Amino acid sequence: MKNYKGKTVWITGASSGIGAELARQFAEEGARVLISSHEAEELEGVRKALEPVSKEVHTVLFNLGNPDEVLATAQKVLEQFGRVDVLMNNGGISTRAEAIETTIEMDRKIMEIDYFAGVILTKALIPKMIENGYGHIGVTSSISGKFGWPLRSAYAAAKHALFGFYKSLWAENRHRGIRVTIFSPGRVRTNISYHALLKDGKEHGKMDPGLDKGIAPATCARKMIRAMKRNRKDVLIGRAELIMVWIHKYCKPLYHRMVNRVPVN
């Protein structure tokens, strides 16, 4: 695919960071862009910032943590816009807490937002995609979806689950015109660490030093769209931190030694 002109693209987690940059770059290609978040003011700010680029950017406000609202919103989107050609399941939340300190309620919340919400949207939209003979689902996972890491148990679990579901979904529907691309970013300079949940449910409220040295969201979004145009299935995005994926895969003893050096208190 050369560009997304005329396609309808729906992006969750679009009020800032990678999602906002995806919105800008898809809009520049001539797509009709639907941007979603639960943050009304920030989302409207993204839409207004894109007005000089495109008049076809529409806000769709809803909460990924409410499954009934997620399904109802998907149905409304289909009624209003007729179809969604590209679904970018990008919204998510992280943790900064040990597994033994994390309540099951928090585990469920992370899974609801990072895993189930995207699955609900996908199941609601994919029949129409199949009917149209084309649909592309982009999934923002993480290198945490490739291995475990201290203080990320719920987040890593949700990101691991994405691989199982979406790889199976693609295998079942590849002959029906359905494409799936799973992205595993490393360090990207977004607000994810600010909003990450601590053991008491409060937000972390600060930028992780590693993330502050990561790639820009615009760079990440550009690599994501380029990978989708090439119909790639499993994409690593980042810098030197990506070596951890290969260390975990091919040199388990070294991976375990590195984990042992990470402070958790």
Burial, 197: exposed, middle or buried (Cβ in 10 Å; 0-12, 13-18, 19+)? buried
User: CA 257, 261, 265 angle in degrees (round to 5)?
Assistant: 140
pLDDT at position 193, please?
77
Task: Write the pLDDT tens digit of every residue in 6-40.
Answer: 999 999 999 999 999 999 999 999 999 999 999 99
pLDDT at position 202, please?
84
pLDDT at position 137, please?
98
Q: Give CATH for domain 8-240.
A: 3.40.50.720
**In the chain, domain spans:** 8-240
Structure tokens at 238: 């980042």
Torsion-angle region of residue 139: left (phi > 0), alpha (psi -120 to 50) or beta? Answer: beta
CA 76 vs. chain centroid, Å, equals: 21
pLDDT at position 265, please?
64
Per the annotation, the verdict on 115 as an active-site residue is no
Does the pLDDT value for residue 194 go beyond 80? no
Does the pLDDT value for residue 234 go beyond 70? yes
Say whether pTM exceeds 0.85: yes
CA atoms in the 13 A half-sphere facing the CB of 247: 14
Q: Residues for the chain: how many in total?
A: 265
Task: Write the pLDDT tens digit of every residue in 142-182.
Answer: 999 999 989 999 999 999 999 999 999 999 999 999 999 99
Quick one: average pLDDT of 109-133? 98
Active site residue: 4, 115, 134, 155, which one?
155
Quick one: average pLDDT of 108-113? 97
